[in-house]
């Protein structure tokens, strides 16, 4: 097992290219289960998670090839309806094969999902939505068994305790494309990744309106056909590079960055002293003034993304003053706090709140990644810290950031891998 070693306190500068959005690519790859015809998906990042989804699709009977960012998926042998625990348990997003399997084959047996340890993330909204379409569902021995001889469109409310659910919206939307009649999803997730999935489904022949808003309407069709699609840029990777520039007082130009998908983050960073300028599709990130503390509360899109909570906390650890970061999506998503404190940060956890007192410098230290975004948070801290930081369990990082080591080196970071 490898660890990532960073010699910090170096100013990053140069150009970096953002990869396609993992959280758009995974459900779009799953959506190919809705058709027997070939599909081509471009801009897919080479990650542990996308490779896991390829394995799942192959296990379900698809021919799936991946070459230089392009995934080609064809029918292969007869499509199966059983998604095994050994694959699904490693990645929560793999649960989104449930909706398309149910829509196309009218039955599915899918393992309950796994993924990062960031708190309880139930699948009740997924099952609620699919039941509203007429599916009969039971949970036995860790598997969801779903069947529906005829799916029927229906109106439903998919809001949960902490707001809307991206994957539940994805699952229901995919199943509803082949249901009889109209489906209306209220309190649907509005994330750009959901809208990107809807655009792919529309290219396949689905009839969908309102994607990107809290109300999505789907008029079921008899069948879907193959399609070609370009994945949107990864907004979380984009935000991470912006913060890498700010935390090192750097000057990074970020290509393939869509600032319109990062409104809440941009607002907070400008308040903190960032200068973000866009020219010909490239965003330049640097400091306009000395850093100032900001208070952040995570919310469903278009609110501040929970997937950027850990990264902005890294920035606040070296920002003079007091900042308060509140996690309203996953209240237990603070595993990175103890690791940042090992690097000298002053952070006090109070329930869903983290109170951060900024200090002048972090100190390099051995730390351990607990989940995908926490690993990015520790990378940012390591880039800013004086001394050497060694991050263990970087397989988490490889789930969501394509070629991050090489990209950092291209910006002047002193970073390398070592065996544990």
CATH of the domain at 360: 3.65.10.10
- Distance between CA atoms of residues 147 and 119, nearest Å: 29
Kindly state whether residues 260 and 337 are assigned to the same domain: yes
- Reported as a pLDDT band with limits 50, 70 and 90, residue 118 is very low
Give the model's pLDDT for residue 332.
86
Active site residue 116: yes
Q: Is the peptide bond before 302 cis (omega within 30 degrees of 0)?
A: yes
Kindly state whether residues 266 and 410 are assigned to the same domain: yes
- Reported as a pLDDT band with limits 50, 70 and 90, residue 163 is confident
Among residues 207, 230, 253, the one where a domain terminates is 230
- With 50 as the cut, is the pLDDT of residue 309 above it? yes
Kindly state whether residues 194 and 74 are assigned to the same domain: yes
Give the model's pLDDT for residue 116.
44
Residue range 90-99: mean pLDDT, rounded = 88
Count of all residues that appear for the chain in the document: 420
Catalytic residue among 39, 96, 116, 257: 116
Kindly state whether residues 286 and 380 are assigned to the same domain: yes
Among residues 183, 204, 230, the one where a domain terminates is 230
- Reported as a pLDDT band with limits 50, 70 and 90, residue 122 is confident
- What are the Cα distances from residue 28, in Å, to 22, 86, 121, 198, 323? 10, 21, 21, 9, 38
Give the model's pLDDT for residue 281.
81
- Reported as a pLDDT band with limits 50, 70 and 90, residue 82 is confident
Kindly state whether residues 47 and 11 are assigned to the same domain: no
Residue range 318-325: mean pLDDT, rounded = 98
Give the model's pLDDT for residue 76.
82
Residue range 53-62: mean pLDDT, rounded = 93
Task: List the domain range (segments joined by +) for residue 387.
Answer: 2-18+233-419
Q: Let me know the angle formed at the C-alpha of 331 by 327 and 337, rounded to the nearest 5 degrees.
A: 75
Kindly state whether residues 413 and 356 are assigned to the same domain: yes
Smallest CA-to-CA distance from 95 within 107, 111, 81 is with 111
Lowest-pLDDT range of 95-109, 110-124, 398-412: 110-124
- Reported as a pLDDT band with limits 50, 70 and 90, residue 271 is very high
Residue range 87-107: mean pLDDT, rounded = 90
Give the model's pLDDT for residue 114.
57
Among residues 230, 263, 286, the one where a domain terminates is 230
Kindly state whether residues 62 and 149 are assigned to the same domain: yes
């Amino acid at each position: 097992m490898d660890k990532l070693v960073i010699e910090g306190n170096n100013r990053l500068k140069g150009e970096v290219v953002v990869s396609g959005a993992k959280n758009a690519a995974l459900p779009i790859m799953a959506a190919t289960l809705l058709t027997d015809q070939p599909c081509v998906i471009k801009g897919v990042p080479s990650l542990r998670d996308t490779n896991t989804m390829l394995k799942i699709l192959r296990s379900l009977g698809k021919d799936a090839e991946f070459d230089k960012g392009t995934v080609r998926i064809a029918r292969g042998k007869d499509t199966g309806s059983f998604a095994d625990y050994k694959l699904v348990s490693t990645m929560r997003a793999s649960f989104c094969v449930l909706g398309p399997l149910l829509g196309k084959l009218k039955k599915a047996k899918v393992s309950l999902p796994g993924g990062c340890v960031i708190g309880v993330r139930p699948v009740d909204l997924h099952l609620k939505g699919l039941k509203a379409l007429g599916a009969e569902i039971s949970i036995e021995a860790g598997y969801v068994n779903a069947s529906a001889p005829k799916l029927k469109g229906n109106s439903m409310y998919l809001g949960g305790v902490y707001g809307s659910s991206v994957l539940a919206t994805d699952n229901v939307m995919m199943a509803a494309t082949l249901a009889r009649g109209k489906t209306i999803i209220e309190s649907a997730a509005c994330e750009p990744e959901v809208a990107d999935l809807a655009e792919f489904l529309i290219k396949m022949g689905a009839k969908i309106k309102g994607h990107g808003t809290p109300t999505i309407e789907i008029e079921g069709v008899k069948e879907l056909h193959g399609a070609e699609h370009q994945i949107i840029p990864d907004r979380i990777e984009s935000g991470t590079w912006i913060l890498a520039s700010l935390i090192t007082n750097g000057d990074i130009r970020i290509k393939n960055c869509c600032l319109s998908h990062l409104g809440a983050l941009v607002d907070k960073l400008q308040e903190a002293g960032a200068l973000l300028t866009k020219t010909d599709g490239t965003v330049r990130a640097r400091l306009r003034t000395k850093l100032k503390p900001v208070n952040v509360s995570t919310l469903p899109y278009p609110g501040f993304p929970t997937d950027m909570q850990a990264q902005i906390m890294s920035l606040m650890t070296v920002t003079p003053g007091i900042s308060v970061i509140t996690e309203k999506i996953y209240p237990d998503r603070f595993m990175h706090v103890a690791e940042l404190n090992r690097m000298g940060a002053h952070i006090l956890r109070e329930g869903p709140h983290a109170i951060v007192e900024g200090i002048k410098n972090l100190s390099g230290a051995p730390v351990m990644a607990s989940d995908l975004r926490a690993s990015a948070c520790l990378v940012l801290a390591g880039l800013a810290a004086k001394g050497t930081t060694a991050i263990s369990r970087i397989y988490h990082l490889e789930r969501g950031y394509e070629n991050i080591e090489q990209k950092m080196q291209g910006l002047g970071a002193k970073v390398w891998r070592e065996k544990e």
